[in-house]
Amino acid sequence: MHTILVAGAGKSSTYLIQYLLTHAAQNKWKVIVADGDANAIAEKTNNSPFAEHAVIDITDITQREPLVKRADIVVSLMPPHLHIHLAKDCLVHKKNLITSSYVSEELKAMDAAVKEAGLMFMCEMGLDPGIDHMTASKIIHSIHRVAGSIYSFKSYCGGLIAPESDNNPWHYKFSWNPKNIITAGVGGAKYLANGKEVEVPYEKIFENNKKIKVDGLGSLAYYPNRDSLKYLETYDIPDIKTFLRATLRYPSFCIGWDALITLGMTAQDDSFDKKGQTLSSWLAAKVGCTDHADLKAFVAKKLGVSIDSTEIELLGWLGLFEELPLKPGTASSGEILLELLLEKWNMASAEKDMVVMQHEIEYMHKGRKTKLTSTMVIKGENRELSAMAKTVGMPMGILARMVLNKKIVPPTGVLIPNMQSVYRPVLQELENYGIEFKDEIE
């Protein structure tokens, strides 16, 4: 009897846990779900006889390590900075580990030890990063096989609200960890454009509002996602001139978010005493406006826009010009903004999210320029059974099942899923669940 430890029962865990529990009966698995929230565990496991609940503090080794020791494989959906606790236990007790998060410096430093132990620590095994790596690698390898030379690679992905549930001017609602929205782009971004390295600071990430077209959805805006350059070697495309990984949003979101950054509303390093304060007094304090009656015009001038602009409309919809009281306490601007957005961008239980991913790859083959566009659009069923939870959780669940059932020989080291032995069977299984791409060649 195999035991799987799933650490984390948050928004993105629904499909992962369901998938593992669905296969538990025939495979004689025990699925331990560990989280600090007993209700979250109960909701996700739904009284399954194959599930075991573990309400723990993941940072407490006395609570965590015995669970890792019992497991045959560990799947972590914890916040990125907490993976390292599980990773250290996995190394000690010789357990394979799967996460959906970016490879951290701490995990990267464990690579030699993980290889020596003959273990697989598969990171970036979710949606983005995850499905993007697998599908991009599949395309790149197929082009290489016919001696094609890739000169431009652009990959876009976004968790959005489905059109039928879109009822606000930002065209956005939360379908995953809300805090990640506040911190998006904070570290700036790097990418390659026409042979030149481009570095974009946080303050300018949302500024350009460049767009792509997606069939059936029209224009979507994108902004560069973190450091694209670190994947150049991994993807093995030495002749590349343009290489970009980017995040998709509706255009109005980027316009509004750029305004929030300019006004300092996303700042993590300031401190504001909220006692007796309102949304408008917070905004006034941030921009240095002493006449609240003139706040809207003051903000418009600071942004360099008219008072009837999209920026002012979006800020107004959030209630930033209104005397709406803040909850007492001291917080950073980013924390105050998150508190507000949790209310304004909350998905109702019956509402649907949408995940869009698109690769645009241009290459030379036998002297002819070719462009391949590969697109995936998936809608969720409701808030719990979201497209985001499906696309983040399913790749991890499938890999865990295939490793336990010896369908995949686990590669060793701290890795991302760019090897054919992993992406081919996982992508094939994802197609059985409707997670597939449509290709166009021109």
pLDDT for 179 equals: 84
Residue 334 CA to residue 260 CA, distance in Å, equals 10
Rg (Cα) of the chain, in Å, rounded? 23
Angle value at C-alpha 239, between 208 and 428, nearest 5 degrees = 80
Give the Cα separation of 439 and 375 in Å (integer).
6
Q: What is the pTM of this model?
A: 0.93
- What CATH number has the domain spanning 131-258+348-379? 3.30.360.10
Q: CATH 3.30.360.10: which residues of the chain?
A: 131-258+348-379
pLDDT at 292: 78
Distance separating alpha carbons of residues 148 and 1, to the nearest angstrom: 47
What pLDDT, on the 0 to 100 scale, is given for residue 216? Answer: 87
Query: What's the burial of 256, exposed, middle or buried (CB within 10 Å: 0-12/13-18/19+)?
Result: buried
- Predicted local confidence at residue 390, as pLDDT: 97
C-alpha 436/C-alpha 91 separation (Å) is 34
The DSSP line for 157-173 is EEEEE-GGG--STT---
Domain 2-126+389-435, what architecture? 3-Layer(aba) Sandwich (3.40)
d(CA 358, CA 429): 20
Are 380 and 393 a contacting pair, CB within 8 Å? no
Number of neighbours of residue 293 by Cβ within 10 angstroms: 8
All CATH 3.40.50.720 domain ranges of the chain, comma separated, are 2-126+389-435
The predicted structure's pLDDT at residue 209: 81
| Contact call for residues 120 and 142 (beta carbons, < 8 A) | no
pLDDT digits (tens, 9 = 90+) for 307-347: 999 999 999 999 999 999 999 999 999 999 999 999 999 99
Per-residue pLDDT of the chain (442 residues), as tens digits, is 899 999 999 988 999 999 999 999 999 999 999 999 999 999 999 999 999 999 999 999 999 999 999 999 999 999 999 999 999 999 999 999 999 999 999 999 999 999 999 999 999 999 999 999 999 999 999 999 998 899 999 999 999 999 999 999 999 999 877 888 888 888 899 999 999 999 999 999 998 889 999 988 999 999 999 999 999 988 989 889 999 999 999 999 999 999 999 999 999 999 999 999 999 999 999 999 988 789 999 999 999 999 999 999 999 999 999 999 999 999 999 999 999 999 999 999 999 999 999 999 999 998 899 999 999 999 999 999 999 999 999 999 999 999 999 999 999 999 999 999 999 999 999 999 999 999 999 8
